[in-house]
Structure formats: structure tokens, C-alpha cells
Structure 1
């Protein structure tokens, strides 16, 4: 496989960390961002110039542009830009705070958009590349108690889907990754809960209140998922979506089937809203 250079947001933990480890071990270069300096000191000590690290809060648009520009300047060419940084917010819509809503949209949606916008001039100038957008099974499904998290992921998927058609003429591929639950520590490290309201006790939205129970074990293997994400960049054309985990596949298939079943009976009614031919 050809050696590549990757730009990945959030490499201190989760999928970002796992991917960085696999890529570095394989001989690729990684430009990674972290929230806290020193959080990947072990990787720097082990791989030296093979890894380039910068501190970044993706909600700071000016900083995003500065860091992305610096990475391309330092490394010359970046083949893959991966939006990985993000977090989860769970609870009924009126259980989460205004501040939590603003933060999840700024991080998961706006932050991802701005990373891509900062990278596009460089990718076009070098004649192409690949953008990998980490989403979730919730990017195609929905559920009570996850409305704001789902909103951020549906938003970023809509952006990435449209972006793919915009940048295809420049030899830039876009892949949306939709993993199911994986043992990355996300539930304990990257998840916030709203403040429970008694009105929601016993309702479907209350089901998310136990998400941080450490006894639960997700079925997804993060090492295998990371390897499949890495392998996806060898596919031509870029796969529009990469579903990871059998439960994710089943949930997405069911959601799309139900959505189509809602739409198909409406063909005649939809046509009746047009001006007469």
C-alpha cells in the first residue's frame, strides 16, 4: 500500500487514537490535533517526525484555519483529512441546556464543516485527496433521548453528502463513516447527559439515562473498525458511506425501509401540489 499522510482531529482517544496508532505502525504520517498538549506524548516519543501534533478546539474557526494551514505547510501534502473530533449529548430535548446545545452543534457540525473548508483549497491545489467524516449509526436513524446528538449528525451527513458532489470534479472523494456502538470509551469519556425531568420518567427518552453504565459492553471492535476506515481510502471511487457493525447495518436498513414506506404512498398526492401540466 502507498504511504499516505493523514490529518485527523482528536487523536488523543477513541477512534482517532486507534487510527493514529495503526497508521503510524504501518509507516504512514499523521498530523493530529488534540485538546490537551502532551496527551499523545508517547506516540511522539515512539514515532518522532512521523507524527505532527497541534492543539485545537474545533469550535474556534480561526484556530481551525491556522492549524490546517500549518499542517499542510509542514507536511507538504496531506492525502486524507478525517473529521473525528466530537462528543455525544443525550437526554430529551428539554432536558439539555442551551449551552450544551450550542456546544454540540459547534463541535460536531460547525467544527467539521470548518475543518473541511480550511482543507479544500489545499486539496484542490494538490490535485485531489480524500475526506473522511466520522458520523454514527445515528446519522441515518433517530431515537428518543438523542434528538440533539442526532441533529448534529444528520446535519453533518447532509453537508458531507452535498460536499461530495461539489468536490468530485477536483478528484476529492468523500466518505461518511457510520459505526455502531464500539468499545472506545466514548460513553464514559465523550458523552454528556441532560438534567433529568420527572415528566420523562418511564418514557422512551429516559432510556438513555443508563448509557454511562460501565457494565455495558458495546459489540463493536474499535481496532477492526479503524482498520476498515483506513482501508476505505484505497477504494475508487470513494465509498459514499461506510457502515460498521452488524447492529448498525440492521438499524440503518430498517430506518431507510421505514422512510421509503412513508414516502412511496404519497406519489399522487405530491404530484397534486404542482401546477397543472
Structure 2
């Protein structure tokens, strides 16, 4: 198994931590970012120079470019860039504060976009590489109480799907990862809640609030298994466009896509009716 060098945002917890642990244990090099300077001192003590660490706030765009440039400069070739850092913001859209909205978008969407943009010149210069963009089941299916979180994940999926076509000529693969619920600290550790508006107690949006406040629901996904699949995916050529992880993710995405396709098919005649007549005639001529 060839050793690789990985750049991973957010290795202090969750999937990022699990990925760093698995990669280091098998002998790969990891360049990881953390929010707090001492968050991975135990890994640094165990693996020494095999682990490169930098502090990074994903809302600080100049810092993203500086850290990426420094990592590629000091480590040389970096095979895989993992855009992992982010968090969940939950509550009805009306409940959210302007500050919460801005921070969620700056972290999950703009930060992820800028990380990819900062990495691409380096990946092109070295002749290729792989980008893993962490999304979620919530990047394809939407649930009440997650409007802004969904906005960032649906947004980053659209960005990543376009980028994967743009950079294919440069031997750069891009994969979107869509995990379902996993037993990390995402739900009860890093997730944020909007201030409560009593009017929404009768709304389906209140369900996610109850889950987070009660703290008793247990996710079915095994993060170690999910991360192993993410790691193994970078050996696939061409790179898979998307990877759904967890039965809950598969079922929710399948239901969402099936429903959207059925609704689209029902509008076929309506959609075609808005074309200029000559467009339809030209299409008919092409088929004859």
C-alpha cells in the first residue's frame, strides 16, 4: 500500500479525528488543521513529524490560503485534500439570528469553497490529486429545522459537482461524501441551536430542537467504518462522484431523489410547452 500525504481540515474531533488516527496508524502523513492549538497534542506526541498541525478558523479566508500554501510548501506533494471542517446550525429559519446565519455560511460554504480554490493551483502543479468534500445526507434531502445547514450543504454539493468537471483534465478527482447519522460529537458537541420562538413549538422544526435538547437519540452509523470507506475511495479511478454512507442516508436520499424525479416527469409537457415552436421543429428534424 503506497503511502500518501493528506491535508484534512478539522482533525480535532469527529470524522476528521477518526480519519487522522486511521491514516497515521497505517503510516501515511497527515497535515491537519484545528481550531485550538493543543487539540491533538496526543497524536503529535505519538506520531511526531508524521503529523503536521496548523491552527485554522475556516471563516478566515486569508488564513485558509496561507495554511494551504504552507502545508504544500513544507510537505511537498499532497495527494488528498479533505474538506471536513464544519458544524450544524439548527432551528426554524425565522428563529435564526443574522449572526448565526452569517457564521454558518462563512464556515460551511465559503470556507469549504475557498479551501478547494486554495488547493487547486498546487494540485494542478503537481499533476493531480484528489479532493474529498464532506457533505451529509442533508446535502440531498432536506428536513425541517435545518434550513441554513441544508443551504450550506446543498450549496457546496453544487460547487463540488461543477468543480469535478472543471478539473478532470488535470487528473484531479473530486468526491462528495454524504454520511447519515454517525456516533461522533457532531450532534451533541458541535451543533448549535437557534433561539426558541414559541410559535414554532407546533412546527415540525421543533423536532430537531427536542432531539438536541434531550440528547438521548443514538445514531446508527459507525464513524470508523465510514472513514475507512472514505480513505479507500481515493484509490478508485475515476473518482466516485458521490458516496452515501449509512442506511439512513441511502434511504433518505433515495426517497428525495425518487420524489423529485416523479415531480419533474409530471411537468414534462408543461416544460416543453414554453419553447419557441421552431425549437421543437428543429429537434424533430434532427431525429428524422
TM-score by length of 2: 0.95
In structure 1, distance between residues paired with 2:2 and 2:148: 39
2:253 is the counterpart of 1:241? no
In structure 2, distance between residues paired with 1:268 and 1:248: 32
List per-residue Cα deviations over 1:201-226 (Å, max 9, x = no partner): 12211111123233211000011111
Partner SS state of residue 54, structure 2: strand
Kindly report structure 1 stretches of 4+ aligned residues shifted beyond 4 Å.
none
Larger radius of gyration: 2
Moved more, 124-133 or 194-203: 194-203
In structure 2, the partner of 1:157 is: 157
Partner SS state of residue 154, structure 2: helix
In structure 1, the partner of 2:281 is: none
In structure 2, the partner of 1:227 is: 228
Partner SS state of residue 118, structure 1: helix
Moved more, 198-207 or 85-94: 198-207
CA drift at 1:62: 0.4
In structure 2, the partner of 1:181 is: 181
In structure 1, the partner of 2:217 is: 216
CA drift at 1:275: 1.3
In structure 2, the partner of 1:47 is: 47
In structure 1, the partner of 2:134 is: 134
TM-score by length of 1: 0.99
In structure 1, the partner of 2:59 is: 59
Moved more, 102-111 or 203-212: 203-212
CA drift at 1:269: 1.0
2:205 is the counterpart of 1:205? yes
In structure 2, distance between residues paired with 1:183 and 1:45: 26
CA drift at 1:61: 0.7
Moved more, 211-220 or 176-185: 211-220
Aligned residues: 277
Structure 1 unmatched runs, 5+ = none
2:125 is the counterpart of 1:125? yes
In structure 1, distance between residues paired with 2:210 and 2:157: 27
In structure 2, the partner of 1:14 is: 14
Partner SS state of residue 174, structure 2: strand
In structure 2, distance between residues paired with 1:190 and 1:261: 36
Is the Cα–Cα contact under 8 Å of residues 144 and 204 in structure 1 kept in the other structure? yes
CA drift at 1:162: 0.4
Is the Cα–Cα contact under 8 Å of residues 139 and 150 in structure 1 kept in the other structure? yes
List per-residue Cα deviations over 1:145-176 (Å, max 9, x = no partner): 11110000000000000000000000000000
Moved more, 83-92 or 261-270: 261-270
Matches within 5 A, 1:83-98: 83-98=83-98
CA drift at 1:121: 0.3
In structure 1, the partner of 2:286 is: none
Alignment RMSD (CA, Å): 0.7
Partner SS state of residue 175, structure 1: strand
